[in-house]
Amino acid sequence: MSDDADDLPDLPLFSWTAPVRVLLFPPRLEVARVRKTAKALATSRSDREQAARWRQIIDGVQGRLERAGFSAQTVEAECLAFAAAVSAELARSWYGPADGGDGAA
């Protein structure tokens, strides 16, 4: 007796799975990288030096994400999120904590 399931053709619809991309270390959540970047920008001696450092750093983040195979939309979104995180860290370093406290628990 033959099994009917073995006689059926394998349809691609049933064997297809959506490609999954997981960003294990999103740049915006890499606290050390965000702080290091903010410090590098804050200690730049001129606007020109600051712009060059920023371009170098963001090119590195972008290149790492592109090499990992992420779409252009994902790369852009992560670079913008990283920029926002660096901006928030710069604001914290210039103006202190948002709650006005001294950071002690």
From the CB of residue 25, how many other CB atoms can be counted at a distance below 10 Å?
A: 9
**What three-state secondary structure class fits 97?**
coil
Note the pLDDT tens digit of each residue in 19-65. Answer: 666 777 788 889 999 999 999 999 999 999 999 999 999 999 999 99
CA atoms within 13 A of residue 82's CA, in its CB half-sphere = 24
End-to-end Cα, the chain, rounded Å: 74
pTM (predicted TM-score): 0.70
DSSP letters spanning 26-54: -GGG-HHHHHHHHHHHHT-SSHHHHHHHH
Strand locations in 1-105, DSSP E? Answer: none
Distance between CA atoms of 102 and 89, rounded to whole angstroms? Answer: 16
Q: What is the pLDDT of residue 100?
A: 60
Note the pLDDT tens digit of each residue in 85-104. Answer: 999 999 998 887 666 655 55
Confidence of residue 18 (pLDDT cuts 50, 70, 90): low
